Amino acid sequence: MNSGPFLALKSEYDKHTVPWRNKKNSSGVEIKDANNNPIKEEYFVSWLSLFPKMISTPERPTTYSNTQAVLSLIVDIEEDADSLEFDDNPNFVITPKQVIARGKGVKRLNDAVTIECKKESQLTR
């Protein structure tokens, strides 16, 4: 298998180390480094660009078509949970605000989440 495209993508995305989870091979055996220490799992942060329908100063419509997105959720829950809740954000409307996510483990949730951009954000990377 050619790992080149995967390695190229790894350099494009921010990555976080998951300190409580050790990386395993396809047989389920923990992978160790040269000093026999377990290698930690990595999480790659994806991104989504959404733009508002209206921009201010003065307020006028935009021509952007990507003002909202519907996302399916795949979660990895470490501690027993009943639901996931999304915090309020002045730039976005997130619906629903709460989704059912019972138990632990990796699962695809039945609920989809819609995120709509309401106003411009001054956030930068």
Asked if residue 111 and residue 58 are part of one domain, the reply reads: yes
In sequence order, what are the residues at sequence separation of 6 or more whose Cβ sits closer than 8 angstroms to the Cβ of residue 14? 44, 45
Structural domain boundaries enclosing 21: 1-47
Asked if residue 24 and residue 41 are part of one domain, the reply reads: yes
Asked if residue 123 and residue 70 are part of one domain, the reply reads: yes
123 pLDDT tier (thresholds 50, 70, 90): low
On average, the pLDDT of the chain sits at 86
pLDDT of residue 4: 85
Asked if residue 105 and residue 93 are part of one domain, the reply reads: yes
- Distance, CA of 122 to CA of 91 (rounded, Å): 10
Instruction: Specify the 3-state DSSP secondary structure of 50.
Output: coil
Could you tell me which residue, 103 or 54, shows the higher pLDDT? 103
Mean pLDDT confidence for 16-44: 92
Asked if residue 54 and residue 43 are part of one domain, the reply reads: no
- Distance, CA of 111 to CA of 84 (rounded, Å): 11
How many structural domains are present in the chain? 2
Asked if residue 76 and residue 119 are part of one domain, the reply reads: yes
- Distance, CA of 9 to CA of 46 (rounded, Å): 11
Q: Say whether pLDDT at 87 is over 90.
A: yes
Mean pLDDT confidence for 98-121: 88
Q: Which two tokens stand for residue 115?
A: 């995120």
Asked if residue 115 and residue 57 are part of one domain, the reply reads: yes
Asked if residue 42 and residue 53 are part of one domain, the reply reads: no
Q: Which two tokens stand for residue 67?
A: 């003002």
pLDDT of residue 66: 84
pLDDT of residue 10: 80
pTM recorded for the entire structure: 0.66
Asked if residue 66 and residue 32 are part of one domain, the reply reads: no
Q: Say whether pLDDT at 122 is over 80.
A: no
